[in-house]
Chains A and B, each alone.
Chain A
Amino acid sequence: MSDKQTVVEVDQLSVSYDKTSVLWDLSFAVPRNKIVAIVGPNGAGKSTLLKTILGIIKPISGKVSFFGNNPLSKVFKKIAYVPQKDSIDWDFPITAFEVVLMGRYNHLGRFKRVRQADKEAAMQALELVGMKELAHRQIAQLSGGQQQKLFIARALVQDPDIFLMDEPFTGIDMHSEKTIVHILQELRHNGKTIFVVHHDLNTVEKYFDWIVMLNICLIAHGDIKTTFTHENIQKCFGKRSVLFEEASKLSKEHLEGIIK
């Protein structure tokens, strides 16, 4: 695999929250044009991995580079993030249209006003996910599937090369799931790379062509056909890491002098 084809390269990456290990020495590279599943049990560090790639969380060691050897600061405009649904304040005074419009803010300067072109781009993205008529609804008035598609529309107007999506298939109906899968395939067709934190092991083989299996450490990564094996799933979802988590907690308690 040549460097040009590598979209994201993670090199000896370790992350910790409050002195507890969350990610341990990950190294992997993902080639261009893939739909990548990030799979692992709860607390395996899947969301943390996305946020570290995005620079929201700072790693304690290691680095992430993009398109060869570029650091995040050079390419962050080329990356779009679709957050987990629970992390959103659905009562916020904002309409669907305004949420999508936000995706265009990185095309504008900080103090620039929104242009007609931005508004039309946002409307087109809403149409693409089949939500044009809902543009002026407050976001709490959308169904679960619509809410998820809304954030995908926002990512689309950012016009990125890399998409990072945190559980876009959680809590949505079959129809929305189909729409989203279709959009992902279109994006891949256009040369984009999409990372998806995914929970439903039944659909992994159907939707994805590359996989990163995590459980604090990297369990396996690579092409879906050779990597998503019974053995690797056992390794990834087995309860082997429970003791490790307990030990991390103990170490944190000792270092901070907390008694429970």
Chain B
Amino acid sequence: MITLWDFFIDPILCWPTIGSLFMCVGTALIGVLVYLQKRSLLGESLSHCVYPGIVLGVLAYKMFFSKVDLLIPVLLGGTATASLGLYSINFCVRKLKMSSDVALCFVLAAFFGLGFLAVSRVQFIYPKVYQQVQMFLYGQAATMRQVHALIYMLLCLGIVIFIILLFKHLQMIYFDREFAKSMSRSSHTVESLVFIMLIAAIVIGMRTVGIILMSGMLIAPAVSARQFTNKLSWMFFLAALVAAISAFFGNVISYHFSNHFSASFPIGPVIIVVATLIAILSLLFSPKRGIVFRYARIVIFKKRVFAENVLKMIFKYSEQNAMPIEKMKKMVHLPHWIFSLFLFHIQKQGWIKHTADEQIQLTKDGKNKALHVIRKHRLWETYLQHLGMQGEMIHANAEKMEHMITEEMESSLEEMLSFPKKDPHQKPIPQKSKYSYGGYELE
């Protein structure tokens, strides 16, 4: 039985694991920078531009340099065509005035197409070359050796050092480019360095996850990390963590699945699947930005709005701020049992109390809350009239805003309208009580 630790020490398993770990972390860090530029598609385009370079590299290897490791001519070829691709994209945007999307797609298709054309030619002449090229198309991490792992380690180290040393500058450039330029003369150089790093990361990474899935490794960790933090330093750290987890479990899952189902589960695609899963889970469940919690917050807000409206209804019903339950049930459009549950809930919260004669009465706090909501409603109406608006729309808009206006807005509204006492319909605006702190009263 193989334990998780064996993936770091087993002589066959360890190099693919360690290699893809470094490669994924390095790529993910660069991915954060690409994500911040909002140019995630760039990774996709450039990784496809690598394809013809690989074909050239493999051909050159077969013809001239069969002494050296295959990886070296392939890296050189890939770097060359990726750089050419980047240049072409910029040329299309700046000189030919293409929109950025069009340029990215156009260059992607053109380069990838060229690669395929070349491959289909060599397929018949050198069948072996074809196989080796395909290896880079989908990645082949399982055959990684010590030397590959070393290359990835150096690349990853380079990227980490680059980011740590230039953190302040990178933050400045991607947040506020013009300010960065006004602060430092070398912003342009730093930006160019990032592109060089991007190309290096893509070219080197394709050995593991392959050209087609490369952009997933750039984007998925950055997207996951963004969901959990509002600080750039943490975003780098979390993206690296997500990448490391994906790389490690990608290897583990690939190994076990391949054995268990006796079918091939290549490491590269499995890594991408893990990274994508983490991204999806982050998008769903992150506390601040995740969809699930956002919906939960919407439900809580709606419940509060409903509660405030019910309190208002009771307040307006009678002088004693009390209302028969039966009457209330007729007014609200809710199943009776849900409404009873709701009443029980706001009673627990201290806004209402049941009286002996089947009535609901506001507590002192409940009355204050109702007055506060009415106050915000009438202040808002006064403000809208002040802006020159008229008619039924005013009331409808205030009906929504009364639940949202903050303390801050409330006091600046008052100040701006010079402490109004009456709303546009000549109804009194509840004022802060002089007698009890935090209370309101109608004058």
Chain A residues within 8 Å of B412, by CB: 173-175
In the complex the two chains form, is B175's CB within 8 Å of A89's CB?
Answer: yes
Cα of A110 to Cα of B173 in the assembled complex, Å: 13
In the complex the two chains form, is B168's CB within 8 Å of A108's CB?
Answer: yes
Cα of A55 to Cα of B180 in the assembled complex, Å: 11
Q: Give chain B nearest CB distance to A165 CB in angstroms.
A: 12
**When A105-B168, A114-B168 are in contact, do A94 and B231 touch as well, CB less than 8 Å?**
yes
Q: Which of B38, B166, B171, B179 contacts A94 (CB 8 A)?
A: B171
Chain A residues within 8 Å of B179, by CB: 81, 83, 102
Of B117-125, B181-189, B256-264, B337-345, the one with at least 4 CB within 8 A of chain A: B181-189
Chain B's closest residue to A164 (CB) is: B182
Chain A's closest residue to B230 (CB) is: A138
Chain B's closest residue to A137 (CB) is: B230
CB of B220 within 8 Å of the partner chain: no
In the complex the two chains form, is B230's CB within 8 Å of A93's CB?
Answer: yes
Q: Give chain B nearest CB distance to A68 CB in angstroms.
A: 21
Chain B residues touching A, range: 20 to 34
In the complex the two chains form, is B182's CB within 8 Å of A88's CB?
Answer: no
Chain A residues touching B, range: 20 to 34
CB of A159 within 8 Å of the partner chain: no
Instruction: Count how many pairs of residues, one from A and one from B, have CB atoms less than 8 Å apart in the complex.
Output: 79
Q: Which of A54, A73, A94 contacts B232 (CB 8 A)?
A: A94
Cα of A51 to Cα of B178 in the assembled complex, Å: 8
Cα of A246 to Cα of B36 in the assembled complex, Å: 37
In the complex the two chains form, is B171's CB within 8 Å of A102's CB?
Answer: yes
Chain B's closest residue to A53 (CB) is: B182
In the complex the two chains form, is A93's CB within 8 Å of B176's CB?
Answer: no
Chain B residues within 8 Å of A95, by CB: 230-231
CB of A117 within 8 Å of the partner chain: no
Chain B residues within 8 Å of A76, by CB: 182-183, 185
Cα of A73 to Cα of B184 in the assembled complex, Å: 10
Q: Give chain B nearest CB distance to A102 CB in angstroms.
A: 6
In the complex the two chains form, is A88's CB within 8 Å of B176's CB?
Answer: yes
Q: Give chain A nearest CB distance to B165 CB in angstroms.
A: 5
Q: Which of B168, B169, B176, B231 contacts A83 (CB 8 A)?
A: B176
Chain A residues within 8 Å of B416, by CB: 174
Chain B 275-303 per-residue mask, 1 if CB under 8 angstroms from chain A, else 0? 00000000000000000000000000000
Which residues of A from 99 to 156 have beta carbons under 8 Å from B?
A: 99, 102, 105-106, 108, 110-111, 114, 138
Cα of A175 to Cα of B409 in the assembled complex, Å: 11
In the complex the two chains form, is A56's CB within 8 Å of B178's CB?
Answer: yes
Cα of A83 to Cα of B183 in the assembled complex, Å: 13
In the complex the two chains form, is B235's CB within 8 Å of A93's CB?
Answer: yes
CB of B226 within 8 Å of the partner chain: yes
Q: Give chain B nearest CB distance to A196 CB in angstroms.
A: 16
Q: Which of B166, B182, B229 contacts A110 (CB 8 A)?
A: B166
Q: Give chain A nearest CB distance to B432 CB in angstroms.
A: 19
CB of B195 within 8 Å of the partner chain: no
**When A105-B183, A110-B169 are in contact, do A94 and B230 touch as well, CB less than 8 Å?**
yes
Chain A's closest residue to B235 (CB) is: A93
Q: Which of A79, A98, A173 contacts B171 (CB 8 A)?
A: A98
Chain A residues within 8 Å of B232, by CB: 92-94, 98
Q: Which of A55, A92, A108 contacts B175 (CB 8 A)?
A: A92
CB of B130 within 8 Å of the partner chain: no
CB of A87 within 8 Å of the partner chain: yes
Q: Give chain B nearest CB distance to A230 CB in angstroms.
A: 28
Q: Give chain A nearest CB distance to B244 CB in angstroms.
A: 20
Chain B residues within 8 Å of A174, by CB: 412, 416
In the complex the two chains form, is B231's CB within 8 Å of A98's CB?
Answer: yes
Cα of A89 to Cα of B177 in the assembled complex, Å: 10
Chain B 205-235 per-residue mask, 1 if CB under 8 angstroms from chain A, else 0? 0000000000000000000001001111011
Chain B's closest residue to A82 (CB) is: B179
CB of B241 within 8 Å of the partner chain: no
Chain A residues within 8 Å of B234, by CB: 93
In the complex the two chains form, is B182's CB within 8 Å of A54's CB?
Answer: yes
Cα of A102 to Cα of B170 in the assembled complex, Å: 11
Chain B residues within 8 Å of A79, by CB: 182
In the complex the two chains form, is B184's CB within 8 Å of A106's CB?
Answer: yes
Chain B residues within 8 Å of A55, by CB: 181-182
CB of B106 within 8 Å of the partner chain: no
In the complex the two chains form, is B174's CB within 8 Å of A92's CB?
Answer: yes
Q: Which of B171, B174, B230 has the most CB of A within 10 A?
A: B230
15 A-B pairs within 8 Å (CB atoms) are namely: A54-B178, A76-B182, A79-B182, A81-B182, A93-B231, A94-B231, A98-B171, A102-B175, A102-B179, A105-B169, A106-B183, A108-B168, A110-B168, A111-B166, A173-B412
